Amino acid sequence: MSPLNEAAGAITRAQGFRAAGLACGIKQATPDLALVAADAAVPTAAVFTTSRAAAAPVQLCRRHLAQSDLCRAVIFNSGRANAATGKQGLDNAEEMVAAVAQQLDCPSEQVLVCSTGVIGLPLPMDKIRSGIEQAAAQLAATPEAGHDAANAILTTDTRAKEVVVHGEGYVIGGMAKGAAMVRPDMATMLALVTTDAVVAPDMLARALAAANARSINAINIDGCQSTNDTVIVLASGASKVQPAEAAFTEQLTGVCKDLARQIVGDAECATRVITLEVSGAPDDTAAREIGKFVADSDLVRSSFYGGDPNWGRIVQALGVCSVPVDPEEVIIRYAGVDTCRGGIAFPFDEAALVAELERGDFTVEIVVGAGPGSAQVLTADLTPEYVSFNGERS
Amino acid sequence: MSPLNEAAGAITRAQGFRAAGLACGIKQATPDLALVAADAAVPTAAVFTTSRAAAAPVQLCRRHLAQSDLCRAVIFNSGRANAATGKQGLDNAEEMVAAVAQQLDCPSEQVLVCSTGVIGLPLPMDKIRSGIEQAAAQLAATPEAGHDAANAILTTDTRAKEVVVHGEGYVIGGMAKGAAMVRPDMATMLALVTTDAVVAPDMLARALAAANARSINAINIDGCQSTNDTVIVLASGASKVQPAEAAFTEQLTGVCKDLARQIVGDAECATRVITLEVSGAPDDTAAREIGKFVADSDLVRSSFYGGDPNWGRIVQALGVCSVPVDPEEVIIRYAGVDTCRGGIAFPFDEAALVAELERGDFTVEIVVGAGPGSAQVLTADLTPEYVSFNGERS
In single-letter form, the type of residue at position B359 comes to R
Cβ of B383 within 8 Å of Cβ of A383? The answer is no
* pLDDT for the residue numbered B5: 58
Nearest to B319 among A227, A324, A384 (CB): A227
Cα B232 to Cα B223: distance, rounded to the nearest angstrom = 22
Alpha-carbon distances, residue B89 vs B8, B54, B60 (angstroms) = 33, 11, 10
Which residue of chain B has the CA closest to A323? B52
Strand partners, B79: B117
% of chain A beyond a pLDDT of 90? 74
Alpha-carbon distances, residue B45 vs A69, A207, B60, B110, B228 (angstroms) = 61, 55, 14, 12, 16
Nearest to A345 among B84, B297, B298 (CB): B84
Q: In chain A, which residues have their Cβ closer than 8 Å to the Cβ of B223?
A: 296-298
Q: Is B126 helix (H, G, I), strand (E, B) or coil?
A: helix
What pLDDT digit, counting tens, does each position of A174-213 carry?
A: 999 986 543 334 457 899 999 999 999 999 999 999 999 8
Cα B103 to Cα B108: distance, rounded to the nearest angstrom = 11
Q: How confident is the model at residue A374 (pLDDT cuts 50, 70, 90)?
A: very high
| CA A150 to chain CA mean position, Å | 13
Nearest by Cα to B68 from B34, B35, B103, B97: B97
- How large is the average pLDDT for residues A96-109? 98
Cα B54 to Cα B339: distance, rounded to the nearest angstrom = 42
CB B359 within 8 A of CB B307: no
* pLDDT for the residue numbered A369: 96
What is the number of other CB atoms lying within 10 angstroms of the CB of residue B12? 27
Q: In chain B, which residues have their Cβ closer than 8 Å to the Cβ of A305?
A: 387, 391
Nearest to A384 among B187, B320, B384 (CB): B384
Q: How far is A64 from chain B (nearest CA, A)?
A: 22
CB A319 within 8 A of CB B185: no
> Which residue of B274, B314, B390, B394 is the best one to mutate when testing the A interface, meaning the one whose CB has the most A CBs within 10 A?
B390
* pLDDT for the residue numbered B178: 84
Nearest to A345 among B120, B226, B344 (CB): B120
Cβ of B345 within 8 Å of Cβ of A390? The answer is no
Cα B242 to Cα A277: distance, rounded to the nearest angstrom = 57
Q: C-alpha dihedral over A286, A290, A292, A294, to 10 degrees?
A: 180
* pLDDT for the residue numbered A1: 36
User: Which pTM does this prediction carry?
Assistant: 0.81
Q: Where are the extended beta strands (E) located within B7-154?
A: 17-22, 33-48, 70-80, 111-118
* pLDDT for the residue numbered B235: 96
What is the number of other CB atoms lying within 10 angstroms of the CB of residue B304? 30
What pLDDT digit, counting tens, does each position of A297-338 carry?
A: 888 998 999 999 999 889 988 988 889 999 999 999 999 999
| Average confidence score pLDDT of chain A | 91
Q: In chain A, which residues have their Cβ closer than 8 Å to the Cβ of B366?
A: none
Q: How far is B257 from chain A (nearest CA, A)?
A: 24
> Which residue of A58, A390, A394 is the best one to mutate when testing the B interface, meaning the one whose CB has the most B CBs within 10 A?
A390
% of chain A beyond a pLDDT of 70? 95
* pLDDT for the residue numbered B367: 98
Q: How far is A148 from chain B (nearest CA, A)?
A: 29
Block means of pLDDT (10 residues each) for chain B, 394 residues, are 66 97 94 97 93 91 95 96 93 98 97 91 96 98 96 91 94 86 54 95 95 85 76 96 96 93 85 95 94 89 92 89 92 97 94 95 97 93 85 68
Cβ of B51 within 8 Å of Cβ of A319? The answer is yes
Alpha-carbon distances, residue A363 vs A96, A327, B2, B176, B265 (angstroms) = 43, 20, 51, 38, 36
* pLDDT for the residue numbered B184: 35
Cα B162 to Cα B255: distance, rounded to the nearest angstrom = 9
Exposure on the CB side of residue B174, measured as CA atoms within 13 A? 33
Q: In chain B, which residues have their Cβ closer than 8 Å to the Cβ of A342?
A: 86
Cβ of A315 within 8 Å of Cβ of B343? The answer is no
DSSP string, A143-183: HHHHHHHHHHT-SS-SS-EEEEEE-SS-EEEEEEE-SSEET
**pLDDT at residue A51 tops 90:** no
Cβ of A85 within 8 Å of Cβ of B185? The answer is no
Cα B132 to Cα B389: distance, rounded to the nearest angstrom = 32
* pLDDT for the residue numbered A183: 36
CB A110 within 8 A of CB A98: no
Q: How far is A226 from chain B (nearest CA, A)?
A: 6
CB A329 within 8 A of CB A343: yes
Cα B261 to Cα A56: distance, rounded to the nearest angstrom = 40
Cβ of B51 within 8 Å of Cβ of A343? The answer is no
Q: How far is A138 from chain B (nearest CA, A)?
A: 35
Alpha-carbon distances, residue A183 vs A178, A381, B62, B97 (angstroms) = 12, 18, 47, 54
What does DSSP say about strands B373-380 and B273-281: parallel, antiparallel, or unpaired? antiparallel
Cβ of B297 within 8 Å of Cβ of A384? The answer is no
Nearest by Cα to A263 from A161, A115, A118, A390: A161
Q: In chain B, which residues have their Cβ closer than 8 Å to the Cβ of A320?
A: 50-53, 225
Cα B107 to Cα B100: distance, rounded to the nearest angstrom = 9
Residue A69: left if φ>0, alpha if ψ -120 to 50, beta else—which one?
alpha
Cβ of A390 within 8 Å of Cβ of B302? The answer is yes
Which residue of chain B has the CA closest to A382? B387
Q: How far is B299 from chain A (nearest CA, A)?
A: 7
What pLDDT digit, counting tens, does each position of A351-366 carry?
A: 999 999 999 999 999 9
Buried b (16+ CB within 10 A) or exposed e, A250-286: bbbbbbbbbbbbbbbbbbbbbbbbbbbbbbbbeebeb
The answer, yes or no, to whether ipTM is higher than 0.90 is no
Q: Which residue is catalytic, options A85, A116, A156, A188?
A: A188
Nearest by Cα to B166 from B245, B247, B232: B247
What is the number of other CB atoms lying within 10 angstroms of the CB of residue B67? 11
Within chain A, residue ranges assigned H as helices are 4-7, 56-67, 86-104, 125-138, 143-152, 201-213, 245-265, 284-294, 298-305, 311-319, 350-357, 384-391
Cβ of B224 within 8 Å of Cβ of A345? The answer is no
